[in-house]
């Protein structure tokens, strides 16, 4: 796929324009977005990503169009998994709801820049060293194993990574938020605010996620332009998606297992491709291994879509069963509660009767003896 420079420039300019619009239109004035606002703009960004994919399909052909859509859907699904950590970061730093948009947008922009660097480095490595596919495949297979054995449960707390600890040691930080400022001045000395720390946490966390997401998309397409575009579009709508499904994340109980299947599948695809382009002397004498056919793009796209569909339906069904079971617990306890209440009432009545009899000169068993 030969992409001219002006197409690259136009794509990058469009992405920068969308980030600028996001900032001016939604983030510059701090506010907590409504569900309707989040849903509307999520649909807009997904629509733009789909339109871009249709353009690739029309101008570059179905093979490249399928690769883009497979990459975009994979990156989007991995981004949903990342939102679990974003929620923990927001809670850990107690970021006010109206400031969370700014943290997410700046963090995502920071991550996009670093991911672009990773993509260019990865593309250069693949171009010059075919064994890199073995490495990427091993990373994805290991990540899939870790996802599957985690029990599908995300971490319940956030621990600062080395980048944040280093920043705190070097740069003075404040304990309190100062409106939506990232940097403030105290007694003539510059300090960074918790908002800046939260922003760096989001950006650095997303860079760590790129360790599996970048190899994953290179397993679906080796076209650098498509890898970049799929990553950019999946990140652009992440801010709106955060507020849209913030309350629904706990319902996706099987998401980790679905992602394990997808990453494992792509990891196997990478290893198969590595065998087909093998140049390592200790594997088949440095000759290509073509016993197992390569996995076509249409099959990759089908596996990803079916896995996500099954995972989502199964997760929602499980959540609904759990909610019904939880709602049935008080109902089951009602008879025992009612019986206890009745017994207490009877006992109270007996005590009241005894007290009344005593006060009227009668014992509990009959008249009081005459004096």
Does the pLDDT value for residue 25 go beyond 50?
Answer: yes
pLDDT of res. 17: 93
Q: For 92-126, write each residue's pLDDT tens digit.
A: 788 887 888 888 888 888 888 888 999 999 889 88
- DSSP symbol at 155: -
**pLDDT at position 360:** 44
Residue carrying structure tokens 């179905």: 62
pLDDT band at 158 (very low <50, low <70, confident <90, very high): low
231 pLDDT band, cuts 50/70/90, is very high
How confident is the model at residue 303, as a pLDDT? 92
Segment 224-248 shows an average pLDDT of 86
Q: How far is CA 316 from CA 238, 307, 313, in A?
A: 21, 14, 5
Q: What Å distances lie between residue 227 and 23, 70, 122, 223, 232, CA to CA?
A: 25, 10, 10, 6, 9
**Mean pLDDT for the stretch of residues 297-324:** 89
What is the maximum span of the chain, computed from C-alpha positions, in angstroms? Answer: 120
352-361 pLDDT, tens digit per residue, is 454 444 444 4
pLDDT in tens, 192-208: 888 888 888 887 787 77
pLDDT of residue 51: 96
237 versus 69: which is more confidently predicted?
69
What was the pLDDT predicted at 155?
Answer: 56
Q: What is the mean pLDDT of the chain?
A: 80
User: Distance of CA 228 to CAs 76, 96, 204, 233, Å?
Assistant: 13, 32, 19, 9
What integer pLDDT is reported at residue 362 of this predicted model? 42
Mutual angle of helices 5-22 and 224-236, in 10-degree steps: 10
Element (H, E) at 362: strand 362-363
Count CB-CB contacts under 10 A for residue 204. 21
Question: pLDDT-derived band of residue 213, with 50, 70 and 90 as boundaries?
Answer: confident
* Residue-level pLDDT at 368: 45
* Model confidence at 349: pLDDT above 60: no
- Residues 251 and 190: their CA atoms lie apart, in Å, by 43
Q: Per-residue pLDDT for 26 more than 80?
A: no
173 CB contacts (<8 Å, ≥6 apart)? 167, 191, 192, 193, 194, 196, 197
Spatial distance between the Cα atoms of 181 and 201, rounded to a whole number of angstroms: 16
CA triplet 206, 210, 212: central angle to 5 degrees? 130
Distance from C-alpha of 246 to C-alpha of 75, rounded to nearest angstrom: 18
């Amino acid at each position: 796929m030969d992409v001219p420079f002006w197409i690259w420039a136009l794509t990058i300019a469009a992405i920068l324009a969308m980030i600028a619009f996001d900032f001016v239109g939604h983030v510059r004035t701090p506010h907590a977005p409504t569900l309707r606002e989040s849903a509307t703009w999520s649909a807009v960004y997904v629509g733009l990503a789909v339109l871009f994919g249709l353009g690739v399909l029309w101008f570059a052909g179905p093979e490249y169009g399928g690769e883009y859509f497979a990459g975009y859907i994979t990156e989007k699904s991995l981004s949903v998994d990342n939102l679990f950590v974003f929620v923990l970061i927001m809670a850990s730093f107690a970021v006010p709801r109206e400031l969370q948009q700014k943290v997410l947008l700046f963090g995502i922009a920071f991550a996009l820049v670093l991911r672009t660097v990773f993509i260019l480095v990865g593309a250069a490595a693949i171009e010059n060293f075919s064994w890199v596919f073995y490495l990427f495949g091993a990373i994805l297979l290991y990540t899939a194993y870790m996802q599957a054995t985690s029990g599908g449960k995300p971490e319940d707390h956030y621990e600062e990574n080395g980048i944040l600890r280093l920043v705190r040691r070097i740069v003075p930080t404040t304990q309190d938020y100062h409106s939506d400022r990232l940097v403030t001045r105290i007694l003539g000395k510059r300090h960074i605010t918790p908002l800046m720390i939260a922003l760096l946490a989001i950006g650095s966390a997303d860079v760590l996620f790129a360790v599996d997401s970048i190899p994953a998309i290179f397993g679906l397409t080796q076209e650098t332009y498509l890898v970049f575009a799929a990553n950019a579009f999946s990140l652009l709508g992440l801010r709106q998606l955060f507020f849209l499904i913030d309350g629904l994340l706990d319902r996706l109980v099987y998401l980790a297992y679905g992602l394990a299947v997808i990453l494992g599948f792509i990891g196997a695809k990478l290893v198969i491709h590595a065998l087909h382009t093998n140049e390592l002397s200790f594997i088949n004498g440095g000759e290509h291994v073509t016993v197992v056919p390569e996995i076509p793009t249409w099959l990759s796209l089908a596996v990803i879509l079916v896995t996500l569909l099954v995972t989502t339906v199964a997760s929602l069904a499980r959540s609904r069963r759990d909610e019904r079971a939880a709602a049935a617990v008080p109902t089951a306890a009602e008879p025992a509660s009612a019986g206890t209440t009745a017994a207490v009432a009877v006992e109270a009545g007996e005590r009241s009767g005894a007290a009344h009899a005593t006060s009227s000169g009668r014992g509990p068993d009959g008249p009081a003896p005459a004096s």
